[in-house]
Each structure stands twice: as structure tokens, then as C-alpha cells.
Amino acid sequence: MSSPKLLEVRNLRVEFPTRRGTLVAVDDVSLDISAGEVLGVVGESGAGKSMTGAAIIGLLEPPGRIAAGEIRLEGRRIDNLPYHEMRKIRGRQIGAIFQDPLTSLNPLYRVGDQLVETIQTHLPLNQAQARARAVKLLEDVGIPSASERINAYPHQFSGGMRQRVVIALALAAEPKLIIADEPTTALDVSIQAQIIQLLKRLCREHGTAVMLVTHDMGVIAETADRVAVMYAGRIAEIGPVQDVIKRPHHPYTVGLMGAIPAMGHKVERLTQIDGSMPRLNAIPKGCAFNPRCPKAFDKCFRDRPEPMPAGTSQAACWLVQEPAHV
Amino acid sequence: MMLPTARVIEFWRNASDSDIFWSFKRSKLVMLSALIVVVFFIGAFGAPWLAPHNPFDLASLELSDAFKPPFWVEGGEAKYILGTDDQGRDLLSTIMYGSRISLVVGFMSVVFAMTLGIGLGLVAGYLGGAADSLIMRIADVQLSFPAILIALLVDGVTRGILGEARHSDFAEAVLVVAIGLSYWVQYARTVRGSVLVEKNKEYVQAARVIGLSGPLIAIRHVLPNVLGPVLVIATINLALAIITEATLSFLGVGLPPTEPSLGTLIRIGNDFLFSGEWWITIFPGIVLAALVLSVNLLGDWLRDALNPKLR
Amino acid sequence: MSEQKNMPEQKNISGQKKTPMLVAKDLRKMFDVSAPWLNRLLEGKGKSLVRAVDGVSFSINPGETFSLVGESGCGKSTVARLIVGLYEPNDGSINFEGVEFATAADRARHPEIQGRMQMIFQDPYASLNPRWRVGDIIAEPIRFRGLLSGKAAIDKRVGELLSQVGLSPVDARKYPHEFSGGQRQRISIARALAGEPEFLVCDEPTSALDVSVQAQILNLMKDLQRKLGLTYLFISHNLAVVYHVSDKVGVMYLGRLVEWADTQTLFTRPLHPYTRMLLDAIPDLDMTGRARTPVAGEVPSPLNPPPGCSFHPRCPLANERCKREVPKSLTVEGGAVACHAVEEGRLPPWKAQAAA
């Protein structure tokens, strides 16, 4: 079956076997990313957003494993590929940017050598061509005097510059998709803005799709085309970013938006969602959000809601079907 | 208020549910080591009741019983299961009594080294500056000598001060100090390293904002949080201390032959190894090896079990 | 080098003059980050000092929340630690209700005043001793300061404190690792309140928390302020949070206070180009897809700060004078600002103003 979607994730389930039983970190998650699209994945720590990204790129930390579901890149299943096959896809077709640029760069190698190595692994270029491409990439990500800085070591760059290098590295082989896991969280506000601008511009120019994993709704609002809100390993709501932010359907999304201190109009108290997200070993029956939900009714405690159409979005909430309870 | 019994039950429930207990149950080797160590403890500390003979009771010794082989070898007697030594002492009993001395000296020297090392490490790490430099440079200098050399030096010095006769009265205490002084550095370094990490954590700053004084913070807040790694070192060091004691006794500067430890026994047996009386040195040797190996395995397991990264 | 001298007698928002609870004047703190002595000798290098806080003055009125905001390395956390006495300033004065309080010796003379201030820390995982039960953690200030005696009385008070921060009295028997980040931060707040302080220094109390939990903690802090009449010094890098909680805001850059004003003024009429840049960098939920105007350049190393106004390499308005001369603090309506462009009247209008 051919599909216009670049990435299709169907009913993904990620499990962590522990001695106290199996923890389900990602539970029945389905999402698509079209070519050139930016999908934001937002949620609180432990919501399973990073785990979803890691599963797609085949970098789940053992003992974590994909227990069910399918991941397809351009129609080809990639979740069950052997390690060496997946390694070819990683970098070539799916690039990765992580939160801490220091862990993505080898401190013992010059930045240029790391770029050249990545380029030559995936593209049929000779040393000189690869080097020229590396300089071009560094210029693209806005590193001043790139042809000199290419010989520097990672520690000689500042945090923001390092994250630019990581972006260059992720783009090195012209992947079709980049998984960016909290790419701006470790950076200062003013640098964050620069990196987000850069990411947006590059993806537009290269036609790269991005899965942007972050806890920061502001970053999503500025960058993403669509957004998936995750809660306790499940997708609570997914839809176009404007709609999810302005007209959220899931009570969790509503609460999340209200909890963000808004600029411009001062409120005495923020909307607060009481309690905290359940631990993975104690996810309640029915809807995982039911203990904190102000509008939960009997069905929410009994049956688990699947994402269902709600306006232009999809929300996993029984209120969508039974508006009488709203 | 909770009743004491309720507390005990709660403690056991927590302990049997803990990660350490779980990793203990998972490894057969560790359980075997623990079993060996427990048997040793019972054998060593129960020696006065369990041992068939009292080797320290010089009156009961018969020189005619000397050099009896183990009972399964020709000429052996069932009375002396593992045979006898050159004085006619029952080897099994002597080993049991000797293990007790080895264990006591090992334990005491570990406690001594640990107290000294933790104290100095805490002071060095928490105060920093000149105190830190002084303590750690002494540690560096000492590390450049082999531990056994330090122990020999301490032993020699005390021998000179106390004189030969009084020295054997204090032989055990001298050994404890000698071994303890040669192993404190590792504790001090580990504790100092952990203190440097812990003292910048916010709970220590919180205690300072409350107004607690430096020594109080170091003891009440920092100390409990740096003991984990120390416990691991202590276990592994117990094996080292037992070996050092055996080495010193083997070299003849440890415990006198009248109260033989495992090391003394091996030395005595060594003289007769090539004249055919192999059992005098082999059995204490096997016992020493098994004990040290088991303690080491336990220490290794403890280190892994307490290391959150390996869980 | 003595800018920002004219601040302590500012009016608060309601316009009445109040006696400030805390006055910090010209605070300076340098850290020695030199290599060890032997290395310096061999490599022929001198000592290197970082000016973490370089002449910061502000005042806080009772019952008010004063926030310090800035990027990492701007010295805001160092100011917090200078106030509570975790560091001793190299220079400057801290005056708490008329009592001079800057040095360790001053603090030793007035232990009762140290007891009236407490601190809440950033990292809820590091700020509670993992080996202590929650009850003992909260009781420590009570026991240390002898506020109550007898186990029953202390247990009762700990229970009250736990209820006050939204936890249950039975939680006193648990250990910190049994709680989530937000709950730990509540325990931290309960410990701070146990010493019955009037003044709380909050160092990024919510930046390690998720948004929904952050909202809980911010609401709790506001409730407690109203109920107990607390005064806060609030440190944060998050302007939205600062806007929400503060009465007055100071903006720090490379160890200096570049602008301060009451919250409404600062956010509607920012003067300093750095403040404007920060405001511009806030992701805006209402304007999806809006292009921000990111400011070029990064924060310079505090080891080697630029001469003159330390913001000049990134400032669109910088001229020769900015590169040479450190700007003095100018009193303006509702606050003060240290910028040559403001003084010389060549500051363009702020866009929100222009739009309005």
C-alpha cells in the first residue's frame, strides 16, 4: 500500500520490563508526519514523548522495547529492521538532535572531522567534496568563519554554537525527517529564539520534516504545523497547532494551556490541574487523566477513550462523544 | 507511635522488597559466597564450643601426636580429622581458632582504617583549602609505598618502643593499627570525592541557610550520604586486611606461634611442606583462599547492587 | 563604577512610601576561578577572577515580590545566595529592616535576623536530604532554632505545615524519593516556612517542574504570601513566570542590574535594549507562526566581559561611548535603567507602544 505520508506510526507500544512488572511507556500511539511538515509532540516529563522519538529512530535504551505496532518510513517498515539496516537509515533518512549538544558531539574529534565522517558514511563523496559540504553546512547553520571553525573542537564552541553544529550534523546527509528532542531546552531564551528560527528556515529550504519533541508549548506554537499532546504514554489530543492551542478539546490540553502564565493580561491565579501525572506503574483504568479531570464521569473511569474526531483535531476524550457532560 | 514489633515487621517487609535483596537472590554465586562467609563466622566465633580440641590449652597437647596426617591418609586418626601440626595441635581446631583471630584482626583494622579515613576525608572535603592539601598530600605520599611496607614499619616501630616481650602482649592491637594505618587512604579519597559532590548540593545549602554550623552539617547531612561507597570498600578491604594479617604473620612479625592465626599456621606448615607434612600448610591455605574469595565476591556484588547505573 | 545608587527610596506601586524590608546596595562578588597555584606558576598565568555580581543595588518592600531575571551566568543566583548568606560579598551592604547584614560577622551578631529569612531552591531532587524522613527535614529548622519543644508539639506543627503546602500529615514518615518533583518542592516550601520566616528567597523554584505543576507551585506561593504576609525575592529566567508573580522586576546582564521597574511598566514600556530583546524572545502562544526577531550574538564569557556597557556587542544601538564607558543608572518613572541610548534620547519607541 502506498501512502503520501512520510512517517506513519501505528499503535506503537513501548514497554520496559522491570522486576516489578512491565511498564508501558508508550501506549497505542498513532501519528503521521507528511513530507516537510513539523509535528510538535508536547507533554510533561514521563508522558512518553521522548520515548516515542527514540522508538522511531531505533534508539530505545534497553530494556525498553517496541512491544507492538508498526513504524513505516515512506511505506517501508522500519521498526523490525536488524541493527545494521537501521544504522543506515539513521543519519541518512532520519536525523537526530538531542537536548544536550555536548552528548551528541565527540569531544575528542574536530567538528569538521565528525561532519566529514557522517557525510562520507552516507553519501558517495570523496574527502575534498565532503569537506566542502561540511563547510557549506556550517555556513548554513550560521557559524561565522566556518572554514576556520571547522578545525575547532566542540568545547571551543558556546552552547548555542554547539547546537548549531549538531543541527548541521543532523542535516549532513539530507535526511527526510529529523527527530529533535528538546533541542532548545538547555539554551538561554535569546539563543532559543535563534535556534528555532534556524531550524524552521533549514527545514523549509531542505524540505525536511521534523518531529519536535518538547515540553515548551511556546516553542511548539512558533514552530509546529501540527501538535500531538501526550499524557501518560498516550496521545490525548492531536491536530493543527492553532486549533489545539486556541480551541483545545481534551480537558488536559485545556488545563495545560491555562497553566502557562500568559503575558499581557495579569491573572491572580493560574488555572491549575491538581495532582500530578500518574507513575507508569499506577496508570488508572479507563482514561489515564480521570483522577485529575474536573469533568470526568462514570464512563471515563470504565473505558479507555481512543482519539476521536473533534473539530479539525482528534481528542481521546469521552466528552467529545457525549457533550452533555461538558 | 509505632510498636517496636511493627517497626521490625515494616523493616523486614522493606528489606525483602528492596533492590539489593532482589539482586542478591538473583546470583547463585553471591548466595554461595554469603553461605561460606556465614559458615566461617559460625565456625570461627563458635570455636570454643564447636572445635573438637582447644589448641591454646598447652596442657592438653601431646607431642607424640605431632605430624598426624588427615584421617583418610594412612596413619591418620579419626580424632584429628585434618591431622595435627608440629606441636600436636589438632589442625581443624587450630584453623577454627585461627580464623577467629584473622577475622577479628581483619574487622578491627577495617574499622580503624575506616574511622580514620572517613574522618580525614570528611575534614579534607568539607573544609577544603590548606587542610585538604595537607591531608591529601600525606595520602599521596603514603600511596607511593606498598601497604605491607607501611605495616612492617609500624610493627617495627612499636616493637622498638614496647620491647619484644610487651609487644607480644599487644600483638593483636599492634597488627590492627599497622594494617589500619596502611589502608586508610582509600577511604579518605573516596569520602573526600563524595563530600566534594555532596557539599554543593542544595540540601547542604538549605542546612546552611537554616543556620547549622559546618561540623553539624558535615556529620548530620553530608556523612550519611557518602557512606554507600565506603561500605563497598570496607567489604573488599576486609579481604585485603585478612591477607595482610596473614602475610605479616607469615613473615613472622604478626601473631606469635602460641596463638596462631591462619597466616602463622601457613608459615609453620611451610617449613614442613617438602618433608611430606603438606596438610599443615595446605588446609589453612585453602581456608584463607575461600574466605578471601567469598568476601571479595560479596564486595563486588555490593558495589554493583549499590551502583544505580548498573541496575 | 557606582551606578544605581539612587534606588532604595522608590515608591511602591500603590504610590505610598514604605520602609523597605531589605536594601541591597552596590553588592559585589568575585569568584576566583584560577588554575591551581602550581599550574599558574608553570604556565606563567595570573589569577583569573569572575565578577559574578558587579555593583547591584535594589530594595524590597514588605509583602512585595521582587524578581531578578536574566540568562544563565548573569549573576542572579549569586545575588540570591549573597542575600541569604551562602556567599559573603566582596563589597557592598545588605540592610534588613535597618540592621546591617552583609558579612558573616554581622550575621553572627544577629542570629535572630538570619532566622527570619529562608530559601527555596531550584532542584527538588537535590534540595532534600535523601536519607532523612520528610518529617525530620521539615522539623529541622524548628528544632535548630528551638521554636517548639517536645516531640508531640513538633510533630503537630510538621503536620500543619504539610497540610499548609497541600500534602498530608502522614507524609512526614516517608522519604523524599517517594514523592514527585512538584511534591518535593512543596516539602521544600514547608521546610522554609518551618522557621517562621518573613522573607523568602526563591531561586528558580519552578524551572525544574512541568507546566501544570509549575502552576500549582506558583499558586501555592501566592496563597502563602497573602496568608502569611511573606516578602519574596524571586529569581527566574522565565519572563512569563516573572510577569505573573512579581510586583517589581530587575533585569540582570553579566553581573549588573541593567534595568528595574514595577512589573507593569517593565513589560509594557521596556527601556533597556537587553530587556527589549528578552521580551521579544518569549514564545508567544497567541501569535502562532509569528517570526521573532532573534538578536544576534551570545552572552559573552563573564571571565572576560566587554568594556563599557557589557551589552554593547549585541546591542543594535551601541555607539563609541557604549564601548568605552559603563552607563550609570538613570531614574525614570517607575524604575531605573542603565543605558547611554536612554540618557542620550536616541532610543526608538517600543513596538507595543508604537502599535498602541
| Shortest distance, CA C114 to any CA of chain B (angstroms) | 7
Residue C1 has pLDDT above 60, yes or no: no
CA torsion angle C257 C258 C260 C264 (round to 10): -140
What own/partner pairs with CB < 8 Å and gap ≥ 24 does B108-111 have?
Answer: B108/B172, B108/B176, B108/B180, B109/B175, B109/B176, B109/B177, B109/B178, B109/B179, B109/B180, B109/B183, B109/B241, B109/B244, B109/B245, B110/B180, B110/B183, B110/B234, B110/B237, B110/B238, B110/B241, B111/B180
Between β-strands C65-69 and C248-253, what pairing exists: parallel, antiparallel or unpaired?
parallel
**Least confident among A28-37, B62-71, C39-48:** B62-71
Which neighbouring-strand residues pair with C69? Answer: C236, C251
Instruction: List the one residue out of C20, C15, C4 whose CA is nearest residue C330.
Output: C4
**For residue B65, how far is the Cα from the chain centroid?**
33
- CB contacts, 8 Å: B221 with chain C: 129
Q: Please give the ipTM for the structure prediction.
A: 0.85
Residues of A in contact with C183 (CB under 8 A): 276
Give CA–CA dist B81/B145, Å, rounded.
42
A242 to C292: CB separation less than 8 angstroms, yes or no:
no
Q: Which residues of A touch C214 (CB under 8 A)?
A: 259
Binning chain A into helix, strand and coil, the percentages to the nearest 5 are 40, 25, 40
Q: What is the pLDDT of residues B267-284, one digit of tens each?
A: 888 888 787 778 888 888
With CB atoms and an 8 Å threshold, state whether C130 touches B207: no
Of A197, A255, A261, the CB nearest to C294: A197
Q: Which of B199, B203, B216 to mutate to test the interface with C (most CBs of C within 10 A)?
A: B203
Handedness of CA B69, B70, B76, B81 (dihedral sign): positive
When scoring A231, A253, A272 by the number of chain C Cβ atoms within 10 A, the one with the most, hence best to mutate, is: A272
* pLDDT at residue C352, as a whole number: 56
- Measured between CA atoms, the residue of chain C closest to residue A224 is C289
The residues on C that touch B, with CB distances below 8 Å, are 81, 84-86, 111, 114-115, 117-119, 121-123, 126-131, 140-141, 144-145, 188, 191, 195
Cα–Cα distance measured from residue C192 to residue A22, given in angstroms and rounded to the nearest whole number: 39
Contacts of C85 in chain B (CB under 8 A): 208-209
At residue B16 the predicted structure's pLDDT band, cuts being 50, 70 and 90, is low
The string of pLDDT tens digits covering residues B235-246 is: 888 888 888 888
Residue B88: per-residue pLDDT: 77
Cell readout for A307 is 482519539
Question: What pLDDT is stored for residue C5 in this prediction?
Answer: 42
| Average of per-residue pLDDT values in chain B | 83
Touching chains, B (3+ CB pairs < 8 A): C
- The residue-averaged pLDDT of B39-43 equals 88
Q: Are C83 and C116 in contact (CB under 8 A)?
A: no
Q: B31-40, C97-106, C292-301, C317-326: lowest mean pLDDT where?
A: C292-301
Inter-chain touch A44–C210, beta carbons under 8 Å: yes
pLDDT attached to residue B107: 92
CB C329 within 8 A of CB C336: yes
Flag whether pLDDT at B180 surpasses 70: yes
Band of pLDDT at residue B69, cut at 50, 70 and 90: confident
Q: How far is CA C337 from CA A126, C5, C239, C256, in A?
A: 56, 12, 18, 11
With beta carbons under 8 A apart, name residues in chain B contacting C121: 202, 205-206
Residue C183 has pLDDT above 70, yes or no: yes
Lowest mean pLDDT among A211-225, A255-269, B15-29, C36-50: B15-29
Nearest CA in chain A to C217: A272
> Residue range C315-337: average pLDDT?
91
Instruction: Give the length of chain C.
Output: 356
Residue of B213, B185, B217 whose CA lies nearest to B198: B217
pLDDT tens digit string along C86-130?
A: 999 999 999 998 888 888 888 888 888 888 899 999 998 899 999
- List b or e across A204-218, with b for residues whose CB sees 16 or more CB atoms inside 10 angstroms: eeeebbbbbbbbbbb
- Enumerate the residues of chain B whose CB falls inside 8 A of the CB of residue C129: 203, 207, 221, 224-225
Q: Report chain A's mean pLDDT, rounded to a whole number.
A: 88
Q: Which of C86, C117, C191 sits opposite B205 (nearest CB)?
A: C86
Q: Please list the pLDDT of chain A residue by residue as tens digits (326 residues).
A: 444 789 999 999 999 988 778 889 999 999 999 998 999 999 988 899 999 999 999 888 888 899 999 999 998 999 888 888 888 888 889 999 887 777 788 889 999 999 999 899 888 999 999 999 999 999 888 888 888 889 999 888 888 888 889 999 998 888 999 999 998 887 887 788 888 888 888 888 888 999 999 988 888 888 899 999 999 999 999 999 989 998 999 999 999 988 888 877 778 888 888 888 888 888 899 999 999 998 899 999 999 999 999 889 999 999 988 877 66
pLDDT surpassing 70 at residue C10: no
CB contact under 8 A, C140 and B207: yes
How far is the C-alpha of C204 from the C-alpha of A10, rounded, in Å? 40
CATH no. of B65-310? 1.10.3720.10
DSSP-H helix ranges across chain A = 49-56, 83-92, 101-104, 111-122, 127-140, 146-149, 159-171, 189-206, 217-223, 241-246, 251-259, 298-302, 318-321
